[in-house]
């Protein structure tokens, strides 16, 4: 395919406008990181890992920071809308690009519903709401009134996104300032009123469940809470100065978010009543604490800061809502990127006079509304979203390594350090995150991915584009996913009774070694299977208008 032909593969209907600056990009990423996760994850991590939950956050911060560096280089070098789906297309062709875009879309499309559900669950926690405006049934799922409120929130989010990326990012900045200030205030108030350092060795010691507990806490809300840094990349096609701003925005947001979450976990651990954790961390807020109210609200009341509890209930609506607005917008950008695949409906890549991808935004909103019917609670969506996110993250280092080899002369405004070491390490980290989610999550992800590939295959057959698929460059995906699925089936993570065999070196960490070694083999194989330099240049030419002044540097 020539560069000229490639434009037929792209978007002939419209383009996105560049209107978002550094602070808009940074606040989009930070606003995605600080959502419902901070309100819900500290308690669940403590229950799984005890005081060593701090190590879970530190480990997650290290892993995701390395991945953030990968996205920083990719986003600055190839600033295109829906970049998480486009980078693998540049390096490995349409099939890999679709696989990346579909996994990115799966995780992103569920975030807005997750955040709306979190806001409703917290709002429903007060006695007045339960009596006069109850939105949940006895099982904790949305009732008819809750579904009406959820649909109304999704409509509001949709309208805000239809106003354009500039309006969305600037209004989000105000919300993010609030969202950051409240958890900082919670840390200060709780530590000043209840500081019990002895809790760090109570209930079986600092690491009551060993390294297994530390790792098991990662997919149970910790990674979910810290994800979102890549959202600036999704808006790269609308950044005013992507060469300078994308990398700074991602790294700044990740540093702030990781520091905040580690401090929150520490404050929670030392703030709970020592009597509640003397015998273990199963009920750190006491056996009678109402889980529907929320951990930080309960802790605020326990330390005598009722006014803080009121602020937390308000934040429990504002914080998730702000994240939901951002993710609905970035989900639309991923749909926009999928629309640039020749095998997908081109309407997804159409923009209106405001240069907003209207159809993609509406599709994301409709699927989000369907999620309220299929998944009625926050917890039912989180683990699967974490797994889909890890798949999306894993494809980025493979793409970057391949593009460095196949497109070496391109100007790179930011270049991640120690790439030859950190790129394979980041792929291994992502594979481990998928594995730690357990078999029950893995097989559901596999089904969702297969459904996407079936839809893509239908588009291929309909438009007769099989000759352009670059299948050789995508053959590593099948063994990678199948291998992780089999290892998860016999692995040491997952809930009993879900088909999980727990037979792979039980009581040891050899399973971690196996997954890491397997991931490294797949990584080097995948990089080696990238398209030829000429094919890579032709793929990049499809988005030449968005990449703007990112042409290869003149050498010699």
The mean pLDDT value of the chain amounts to: 78
List, in order, residues 6 or more apart from 403 with CB less than 8 Å away.
Answer: 74, 77, 78, 87, 90, 91, 410, 530, 536
Most trustworthy range by pLDDT among 175-179, 471-475, 486-490: 471-475
pLDDT grade for 554, boundaries at 50, 70 and 90: very low
User: Can you tell me the distance from the alpha carbon of 303 to that of 96, in angstroms, rounded to the nearest whole number?
Assistant: 52
Q: What's residue 82's pLDDT? A: 67
Spatial contact of 156 and 361, defined as CB atoms under 8 Å apart: no
For residue 552, is pLDDT > 60? no
User: Can you tell me the distance from the alpha carbon of 396 to that of 94, in angstroms, rounded to the nearest whole number?
Assistant: 15
User: Can you tell me the distance from the alpha carbon of 170 to that of 176, in angstroms, rounded to the nearest whole number?
Assistant: 10
295-302 helix and 165-193 helix, angle to the nearest 10 degrees: 40
**Cα separations (Å) of 122 from 135, 278, 318?**
10, 28, 11
Q: What's residue 173's pLDDT? A: 65
Q: Can you spell out the DSSP letters for 202-265?
A: TTTSS-TTHHHHHHHTIIIIIHHHH--TTHHHHTGGGBSSHHHHHHHHHHHHHHHHHHHHHHHH
Q: When comparing pLDDT for 515 and 243, which is higher?
A: 515
User: Can you tell me the distance from the alpha carbon of 19 to that of 355, in angstroms, rounded to the nearest whole number?
Assistant: 10
Residue 307: how many other CB atoms lie within 10 Å: 10
For residue 178, is pLDDT > 70? yes
Q: What's residue 240's pLDDT? A: 72
User: Judging by beta carbons within 10 Å of its beta carbon (0-12, 13-18, 19+), is residue 126 exposed, middle or buried?
Assistant: middle
User: Can you tell me the distance from the alpha carbon of 47 to that of 287, in angstroms, rounded to the nearest whole number?
Assistant: 12
Provide mean pLDDT across the span 247-273: 90
For residue 469, is pLDDT > 80? no
Q: What's residue 8's pLDDT? A: 33
List, in order, residues 6 or more apart from 455 with CB less than 8 Å away.
Answer: none
Q: When comparing pLDDT for 423 and 345, which is higher?
A: 423
Spatial contact of 217 and 48, defined as CB atoms under 8 Å apart: yes
Q: What's residue 314's pLDDT? A: 85
Q: Can you spell out the DSSP letters for 401-455?
A: HHHHHHSTTB--S---TTHHHHHHHHHHHHHHHHHHT-HHHHHHHHHHHHHHHHH
CATH class of 3-542: mainly alpha
Q: What's residue 168's pLDDT? A: 53
DSSP 3-state assignment of 552? Answer: strand
- Tell me which of 92-96, 166-170, 508-512 is least confident: 166-170
**Cα separations (Å) of 265 from 32, 46, 58, 241, 295?**
19, 8, 10, 36, 12
Q: What is the pTM assigned to this prediction?
A: 0.77
C-alpha R_g of the chain = 23
Can you give the residue ranges of every domain in the chain?
Answer: 3-542
Q: What's residue 16's pLDDT? A: 47
Q: What's residue 249's pLDDT? A: 84
| Torsion-angle region of 551 (φ positive above 0: left; ψ -120 to 50: alpha; else: beta) | beta
Percentage of the chain modeled with pLDDT above 90: 22
Q: What's residue 291's pLDDT? A: 46
For residue 193, is pLDDT > 90? yes
400-421: pLDDT as tens digits: 999 999 999 888 888 888 999 9
292-345: pLDDT as tens digits: 457 888 899 889 998 998 888 888 777 777 766 666 666 666 666 666 666 566
Provide mean pLDDT across the span 16-45: 76
CA angle, 294 then 298 then 299, to 5°: 115
User: Can you tell me the distance from the alpha carbon of 311 to that of 185, in angstroms, rounded to the nearest whole number?
Assistant: 10
Separation of first and last alpha carbons in the chain: 28
């Amino acid at each position: 395919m020539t560069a000229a032909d490639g434009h037929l593969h792209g978007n002939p209907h419209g383009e996105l406008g560049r209107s978002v600056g550094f602070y808009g990009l940074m606040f989009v990423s930070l606003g995605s990181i600080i959502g419902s996760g901070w309100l819900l994850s500290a308690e669940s991590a403590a229950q799984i890992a005890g005081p060593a939950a701090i190590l879970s956050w530190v480990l997650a911060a290290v892993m995701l920071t390395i991945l953030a560096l990968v996205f920083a280089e990719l986003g600055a070098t190839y600033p295109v809308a829906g970049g998480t789906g486009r980078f693998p297309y540049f390096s490995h062709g349409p099939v890999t690009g679709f696989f990346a875009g579909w996994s990115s879309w799966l995780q992103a499309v569920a975030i807005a519903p997750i955040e709306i559900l979190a806001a409703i669950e917290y709002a429903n926690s007060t006695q007045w709401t339960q009596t006069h405006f109850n939105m949940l049934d006895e099982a904790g799922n949305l009732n008819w009134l809750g579904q009406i409120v959820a649909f109304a929130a999704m409509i509001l989010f949709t309208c805000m996104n239809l106003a354009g990326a500039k309006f969305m990012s600037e209004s989000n900045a105000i919300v993010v300032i609030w969202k950051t200030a409240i958890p900082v205030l919670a840390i200060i108030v709780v530590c000043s009123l209840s500081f019990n350092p002895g809790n760090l060795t109570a209930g079986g010691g600092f690491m009551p469940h060993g390294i297994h507990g530390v790792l098991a806490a990662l997919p149970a809300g910790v990674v979910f809470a810290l994800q979102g840094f890549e959202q600036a990349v999704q808006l790269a096609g609308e950044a005013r100065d992507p060469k300078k701003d994308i990398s700074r925005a991602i790294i700044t947001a990740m540093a702030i978010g990781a520091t905040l979450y580690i401090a929150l976990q520490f404050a929670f651990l030392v703030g709970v009543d020592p009597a509640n954790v003397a015998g273990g961390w199963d009920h750190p807020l006491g056996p009678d604490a109402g889980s529907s109210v929320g951990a930080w609200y309960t802790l605020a009341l326990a330390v005598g800061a009722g006014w803080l509890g009121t602020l937390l209930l308000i934040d429990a609506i504002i914080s998730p809502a702000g994240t939901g607005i951002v993710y609905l917008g970035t989900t639309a950008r991923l749909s926009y990127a999928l629309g640039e695949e020749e095998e997908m409906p081109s309407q997804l890549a159409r923009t209106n006079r405001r240069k907003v991808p209207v159809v993609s935004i509406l599709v994301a909103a409709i699927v989000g509304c369907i999620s309220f019917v299929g998944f009625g609670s926050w917890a039912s969506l989180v683990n699967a979203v974490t797994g889909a996110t890890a798949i999306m993250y894993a494809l980025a280092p493979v793409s970057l390594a391949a593009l460095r080899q196949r497109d070496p002369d391109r100007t790179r405004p930011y270049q991640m350090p120690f790439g030859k070491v950190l790129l394979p390490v980041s792929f291994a980290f992502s594979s481990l995150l998928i594995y730690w989610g357990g078999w029950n999550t893995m097989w559901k992800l596999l089904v969702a991915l297969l459904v996407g590939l079936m839809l893509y295959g239908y588009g291929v057959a309909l438009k007769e584009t099989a000759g352009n698929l670059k299948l050789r460059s995508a053959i590593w995906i099948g063994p990678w996913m199948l291998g992780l699925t089999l290892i998860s089936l016999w692995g040491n993570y997952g809930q009993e009774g879900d088909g999980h065999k727990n037979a792979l070196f039980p009581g040891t960490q050899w399973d971690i070694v196996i997954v890491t070694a397997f991931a490294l083999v797949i990584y080097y194989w995948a990089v080696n299977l990238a398209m030829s330099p000429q094919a890579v240049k032709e793929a990049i030419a499809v988005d030449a208008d968005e990449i703007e002044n990112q042409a290869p540097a003149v050498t010699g």
